[in-house]
Chains A and B, each alone.
Chain A
Amino acid sequence: NAGVTQTPKFRILKIGQSMTLQCTQDMNHNYMYWYRQDPGMGLKLIYYSVGAGITDKGEVPNGYNVSRSTTEDFPLRLELAAPSQTSVYFCASSDGQHGTDTQYFGPGTRLTVL
């Protein structure tokens, strides 16, 4: 049981490039989330999904896109990378409703945009 896995662990992008951050969970969780963590700050929710085919915006969605074609996978897409997107990105999943259920986090992807 691997839990939540994320790839890549590290990535450096040039301004204007695009990339997809991969996230997979093997716990059959319905809910999945993408957060970003800036230095000295708490996590901010980018997008979340309550099930396959359903996604919704979080607190900071601008510059990102997501899709959820399967229960297991929840990729995050950056179309035109900007220096403001330099951050550590965490994917998480939970079994039930966002409000009370434990979220399980992946190890994170550290992204630098130069």
Chain B
Amino acid sequence: GDSVTQMEGPVTLSEEAFLTINCTYTATGYPSLFWYVQYPGEGLQLLLKATKADDKGSNKGFEATYRKETTSFHLEKGSVQVSDSAVYFCALSIINDMRFGAGTRLTVKP
């Protein structure tokens, strides 16, 4: 079935470091791809999304490109801040079905 695999955490970085969180997917059709972020004590919030191959989603300095050839949607940010500390979820969606990865906890230290 459809599924998402993302790199295990936790990930600990120093402020201003480069961030990559890997995400790969398996799907029978043509899914939309998402990154959601969960701050402590809160629900998930959409960070960015891409609906077709080669689309790039971006928001708040984060970027991810929908790569059909490698079935990937890796999340990147050039310079992380302490305020980026959160759990990041990769997800895919095909009509009426949404699948989430297990989440990657990011801690950014000053």
Contact = CB atoms under 8 A, between A and B. Distances in A.
Interface string B67-110: 00000000000000000000001010111111111110000000
B66 to A, nearest CB: 12
B51 interface: yes
A97 B49 CA distance: 15
5 contacts: A42-B91, A92-B44, A99-B31, A100-B93, A106-B43
Contacts of A92: 43-44
Ordered nearest first, which 3 A-B pairs have the shortest CB separation? A105-B43, A42-B100, A43-B100
What is the interface residue range for chain B against chain A?
20 to 34
- Interface majority SS (helix, strand, loop, mixed), chain A: loop
B93 A107 contact: no
A42 B32 CA distance: 17
Interface string B43-76: 1111001010000000000000000000000000
Interface of A: 4, 33, 40-45, 48, 56, 59, 90, 92, 97-100, 102-103, 105-108
Contact of B97 (A4, A90, A98, A108): A98
Contacts of A45: 97-98
B42 A42 contact: no
Given A98-B97, A99-B32, 8 more contacts: A4-B43, A45-B97, A56-B96, A59-B97, A92-B43, A98-B96, A102-B49, A105-B45
Contacts of B98: 33, 45, 98, 103
